[in-house]
Amino acid sequence: MRTGADYLAAISDDREIYVDGERVRDVADHPAFRPIATTMSELFDLAADPSSKMTFTAPETGAEANRIYGIPRSQADLTAFRDAAQAWARHTHGWVGRSPDHVGAFVAGFAAHPEAFAAGERDFSANVQAYHRELLTQSKYVSYAIIPPQVSRATTAHAWEGDFVQAGVVEEKPDGIVVRGAQMLATGGPIADEIFVSCIKPLTEDDRDFALGFVVPVAAEGLKLYCRRPFAPAATSSYDYPLSTRYDETDALLVFDDVFIPWEKVFVYRDVAGLRRQFFDTGAHVLGNWQAQIRFSVKLQFITGLARKVAAINGVDKFPGVIEKLGELASLASLVESAVLAAEYTAAPDEAGLWRPGKRAVYGAMGLQAELYPRALSILRDLVGGGVLQVPSSVADMRNPATRADIDRYIYSPNAPAEERIKLFKLAWDATGSEFGGRHHQYEMFYAGAPFVVKGYAFRNYGFEEPLADVESFLAGYHVD
C-alpha cells in the first residue's frame, strides 16, 4: 500500500503552480501546501496501517487496495466504504472536502459502467477500466475540475468572446488530443497526483469541442494551476489557527496551454451526451456525493461538539434558550448522519451489480446543504459571542511574561484556565470567522454545484410517483355530492 512518504515523494515534481506572483518550486515543501500535503500523507499512512482495516482484495486486480477506490458490489461493500471514508473524515474532522475518496468514488462508479463510455463515436470503456485499476494498484490522489470558468452563465462556451476560454480540444493527433483553455476549480489540485477534467454543466451541440472527459497528471507540460490566496502561510501558529494550519486544501483554476493528453487517458471526446452519461448513468455521481455527505456528517458532528463545549465553558448550557439552540444543532447533525445511513439502507444493486446508495437520501441531504451549513455556523457564531475576539492577538502574547499575567487573570472561565479557553475560542474563530472559515462556508454551499443545481438533483431524484399516486388516490375518494 502507498504510504504518506511515497505520496510526498511523488508530488515533489516539476508541476507549474503559481501563488503570489511566483512559481512554486516544490509543493511538498512550500508554506502554502506543506501543511495540507502532510495531512494528506497522514491519510495514506492511515490507510496503509492494517489496524485501520481500510484495505481489501480488489477483484479487478487480485491485489490489496484501499476500499475507497473499490466498486461496491454488495451492501457489505457499501458499509466498508463508509467505514473507510469515515476513518479518513474523522482524521480531518470533516474539514478536508477533497480527500482522494471523493474522485476515487466517481472513478469506481465510472468503471462499474464501462458501457457509458462506449456509446459515443469512439469506445473509451477500456480506458476507464484501466484507469480504475491504476487507482486500485497505485492509490492515486485525483482531484477534479468539472466546471467551466465563471465567465458568463448567460450562455455556454461557444458563445463566449475569445477562442477556447473553456478547456477544449484544439487538435486531434494519432496518439492523443491537445487541450487549450481553462477549467475551474480544482480543490486540492496543486497537491494531487492527477486531475480529472470534464464538464458537469449542461452544454449544447455547439460546444462539442468542450465536451471532454480526461485525466491529466498535475505535472503535465503546459498545465498551469493558479491558486487562490493560501491561508496557511498567514496563520501565526497552530494554536491561533488550528484548522487553517492543517486543512487549507487550496482551490486552483486550471489553465491548459496546449496540453497533450494521450488517448488512453481520454474518457469522453466531443460528446455532449457523453458528459451526462458518465456522471448520471454510471452511478458515479450518487456514489461520489454519498462520500461527500459522509464527510459532511463528520464535520457537523465536530461543529456540534464545539458549540456544546463553548456553551459549557461559558456556563450557559443550562439556559433553556441555549438548550434549544444546541438541540437545533444536534438535529441538523443527526439529519445528515441519518441521510448517510438511510442511503446505505435503501441502496440497491443496478443492472451492472453496482450497489448505488439511495438517491432520495443522498440528494435530499445535498439539496438542503446550502441552508444547513450556514445555519449550523450561525448557531455556533451565536453561542461564541464576542469570546472569539476577546483573545490575545497571537500565541506570542501568551509567551510574553509581561502580558501573560493579565491573560491568565482575565481571560479564563471557572472550568477552564486561560490557555484552554483561548485555545477553544480560537478554534471556533477558525471555523466561523477566519478566511479559512469563510472559504468553508462557500465550499459547503457550492462544492457540488450552485444551490439551484443541487436542489434540481433533489427534485429529479426524489421519486414523485408514489407521493403523487397517494394524492391522486385521496382526491379520487370524494366528490361533489
- Distance CA(28)–CA(11), nearest Å, equals 7
Report which residue type is found at 381: R
Q: At what angle do helices 359-367 and 320-345 cross, to 10 degrees?
A: 150
Please check whether residue 454 is in contact with residue 370, taking contact to mean a CB–CB distance below 8 angstroms: yes
Q: Quick one: which of 145, 243, 332, 342 contacts ligand FAD (CB under 6 A)?
A: 145
Q: Which is nearer to ligand FAD, 232 or 310 (CB)?
A: 232
| Three cell numbers, residue 296 | 459532511
Q: Does 450 bind ligand FAD (CB under 6 A)?
A: yes
Stretch of 111-119, 396-404, 414-422, 445-453 contacting ligand FAD, by CB under 6 A: 445-453
152 carries a ligand binding annotation: yes
Stretch of 145-153, 280-288, 381-389, 422-430 contacting ligand FAD, by CB under 6 A: 145-153
Q: Does 318 bind ligand FAD (CB under 6 A)?
A: no
Q: How many amino acids of this chain bind ligand FAD (CB under 6 A)?
A: 21
Q: Which is nearer to ligand FAD, 28 or 145 (CB)?
A: 145
To ligand FAD, the closest distance from the beta carbon of 455 in angstroms equals: 10
150 carries a ligand binding annotation: yes
Q: Does 32 bind ligand FAD (CB under 6 A)?
A: no
Q: Which is nearer to ligand FAD, 150 or 473 (CB)?
A: 150
| Three cell numbers, residue 50 | 492494517
153 carries a ligand binding annotation: yes
In the DSSP assignment, the letter for residue 229 is P
**Strand ranges (E), 329-427:** 348-349, 355-356
Reduced to 3 states (helix: H, G, I; strand: E, B; else coil), residue 356 is: strand
| Three cell numbers, residue 462 | 426524489
Phi, psi (rounded to 5 degrees) for 334: -65, -35
To ligand FAD, the closest distance from the beta carbon of 155 in angstroms equals: 11
Please check whether residue 32 is in contact with residue 250, taking contact to mean a CB–CB distance below 8 angstroms: yes
Phi, psi (rounded to 5 degrees) for 39: -60, -45
Please check whether residue 232 is in contact with residue 32, taking contact to mean a CB–CB distance below 8 angstroms: yes
To ligand FAD, the closest distance from the beta carbon of 235 in angstroms equals: 18
User: If you write DSSP's letter for every residue of 50-108 in order, what string do you get?
Assistant: GGG--EEE-TTTSSEEEGGGSPP-SHHHHHHHHHHHHHHHHHHTT--TT-THHHHHHHH
Q: Which is nearer to ligand FAD, 269 or 279 (CB)?
A: 279
- Which residues from 61-120 bind ligand FAD, rule CB under 6 A? 98
Q: Does 447 bind ligand FAD (CB under 6 A)?
A: yes
To ligand FAD, the closest distance from the beta carbon of 350 in angstroms equals: 25
Q: Does 342 bind ligand FAD (CB under 6 A)?
A: no
Q: For strand 251-262 and strand 348-349, is the pairing parallel, antiparallel, or unpaired?
A: unpaired
- Distance CA(246)–CA(240), nearest Å, equals 12
- Distance CA(150)–CA(160), nearest Å, equals 11
The CB density around residue 76, as the number of other CB atoms within 10 Å, is 10
To ligand FAD, the closest distance from the beta carbon of 306 in angstroms equals: 21
Strand partners, 168: 180
360 carries a ligand binding annotation: no
To ligand FAD, the closest distance from the beta carbon of 401 in angstroms equals: 41
- Which residues from 241-300 bind ligand FAD, rule CB under 6 A? 251
Q: Quick one: which of 147, 177, 354, 361 contacts ligand FAD (CB under 6 A)?
A: 147
Please check whether residue 75 is in contact with residue 358, taking contact to mean a CB–CB distance below 8 angstroms: no
To ligand FAD, the closest distance from the beta carbon of 65 in angstroms equals: 23
- Distance CA(183)–CA(211), nearest Å, equals 12
- Distance CA(216)–CA(173), nearest Å, equals 17
Phi, psi (rounded to 5 degrees) for 87: -60, -45
Q: Which is nearer to ligand FAD, 248 or 271 (CB)?
A: 248
- Which residues from 167-206 bind ligand FAD, rule CB under 6 A? 184-187
Q: Does 451 bind ligand FAD (CB under 6 A)?
A: yes
To ligand FAD, the closest distance from the beta carbon of 198 in angstroms equals: 9
Q: Quick one: which of 24, 37, 87, 146 contacts ligand FAD (CB under 6 A)?
A: 146
Strand partners, 19: 22
Q: Does 226 bind ligand FAD (CB under 6 A)?
A: no
To ligand FAD, the closest distance from the beta carbon of 465 in angstroms equals: 26
To ligand FAD, the closest distance from the beta carbon of 145 in angstroms equals: 5
Stretch of 14-22, 357-365, 427-435, 439-447 contacting ligand FAD, by CB under 6 A: 439-447
Q: Does 443 bind ligand FAD (CB under 6 A)?
A: yes
- Which residues from 344-373 bind ligand FAD, rule CB under 6 A? none
User: Rounded to whole angstroms, what are the CA distances from 212 to 124, 172, 198, 218, 317?
Assistant: 12, 13, 5, 17, 54
**Which residues contribute to the annotated binding site?**
150-153, 187
Which residues of this protein are in contact with ligand FAD, per CB under 6 A? 98, 144-147, 150, 153, 184-187, 251, 439, 442-443, 446-447, 449-452
Q: Which residues are annotated as a binding site for FAD?
A: 150-153, 187
